[in-house]
Amino acid sequence: MTLDTCVGNLKLETPGMGASGIMDETGKSMARMLSSGAGAAVTKSIGLQPNLGHKNPTFTEVKGGFVNAMGLPNPGIELFKEEMEAAVSAGKVIGSIYGATADDFVILAGKMEDYGAAAVELNLSCPHAKGYGMEIGVDAELVGDIVSAVKSSLTIPVWAKLTPNTHILKELAVAVQDAGGDAIVAINTLKAMVISPEFGRPFLSNKFGGLSGPAVRSVGVRAVYDIRTVVDIPIVGVGGISDWRDATQYIMAGACAFQVGSAIAAKGLKVFESINRDLEEFMRDFGYGAIKDMVGVAHE
Ligand SMILES: Cc1cc2nc3c(=O)[nH]c(=O)nc-3n(C[C@H](O)[C@H](O)[C@H](O)COP(=O)(O)O)c2cc1C
21-70 tens-digit pLDDT? 999 999 999 999 999 999 999 999 999 999 999 999 999 999 999 999 99
Residue 7 has phi, psi (to 5 degrees) of -105, 95
69 and 210 Cβ atoms separated by less than 8 Å: yes
Give, using CA atoms, the residue closest to atom 7 of ligand 1.
21
Residue type for position 65:
G
Torsion angle (degrees, nearest 10) of CA 119, 20, 256, 85: 40
What is the full per-residue pLDDT of the chain (300 aa) written as tens digits?
A: 899 999 999 999 999 999 999 999 999 999 999 999 999 999 999 999 999 999 999 999 999 999 999 999 999 999 999 999 999 999 999 999 999 999 999 999 999 999 999 999 999 988 878 888 888 889 999 999 999 999 999 999 999 999 999 999 999 999 999 999 999 999 999 999 999 999 999 999 999 999 999 999 999 999 999 999 999 999 999 999 999 999 999 999 999 999 999 999 989 999 999 999 999 999 999 999 999 999 999 998
Helix H or strand E encompassing 178:
helix 169-178
Q: Ligand 1: which atom is nearest the Cα of residue 19?
A: 17
Query: Are 65 and 216 contacting, i.e. CB atoms less than 8 angstroms apart?
Result: yes
How many angstroms does the Cα of residue 286 sit away from the middle of ligand 1?
Answer: 32
Known catalytic residue at 126: yes
pLDDT for residue 188: 97
Catalytic: which of 23, 126, 224, 260?
A: 126
Q: Exposed, middle or buried: residue 13 (CB in 10 Å: 0-12, 13-18, 19+)?
A: middle
Cα 126 from chain centroid (whole Å): 10
d(CA 235, CA 92): 18
10 Å CB burial of residue 232 (0-12, 13-18, 19+) is: exposed
Mind spelling out the 3-state secondary structure of 248-272?
HHHHHHCCCEEEECHHHHHHCCHHH
Q: Virtual CA dihedral for 123, 93, 179, 7, nearest 10 degrees?
A: -120
Ligand 1: distance of its center to the CA of 8 in Å?
23
Which amino acid, residue 161? K
Phi, psi of 16 (to 5 degrees): -100, 130
Specify which residues 94 forms β-bridges with: 42, 119
Query: Rounded to whole angstroms, how far apart are CA atoms 81 and 65?
Result: 32
pLDDT value at residue 133? 84
pTM for the predicted model, two decimal places: 0.98
Q: How far apart are CA 295 and CA 78, in angstroms?
A: 38
Atom of ligand 1 nearest to the CA of 123: 11
* 3-state secondary structure (DSSP) of residue 137: helix
Whose alpha carbon is nearest atom 5 of ligand 1?
A: 21
Provide the greatest CA pair distance for the chain. 55
Q: Say what the pLDDT of residue 131 is.
A: 84
Per-residue CA distances from 9 to 3, 99, 132, 256 (Å): 16, 26, 29, 12
CA pair distance 104, 138, nearest whole angstrom: 18
What are the residues facing 241 on neighbouring strands?
none
Q: Which residues line ligand 1 (CB under 6 A)?
A: 19-22, 44-45, 66, 68, 70, 72, 96, 123, 126, 161, 188-189, 212-213, 216, 238-241, 260-263
Residue 143 contacts residue 124 (beta carbons within 8 Å): yes
Going by the DSSP 8-state scheme, the letter that residue 2 receives in this structure is: B
- Determine the distance separating the centroid of ligand 1 and the alpha carbon of 199, expressed in angstroms: 27
Q: For domain 5-53+71-189+213-299, which CATH number applies: 1.20.1560.10, 3.30.40.230, 3.30.565.10, 3.20.20.70?
A: 3.20.20.70
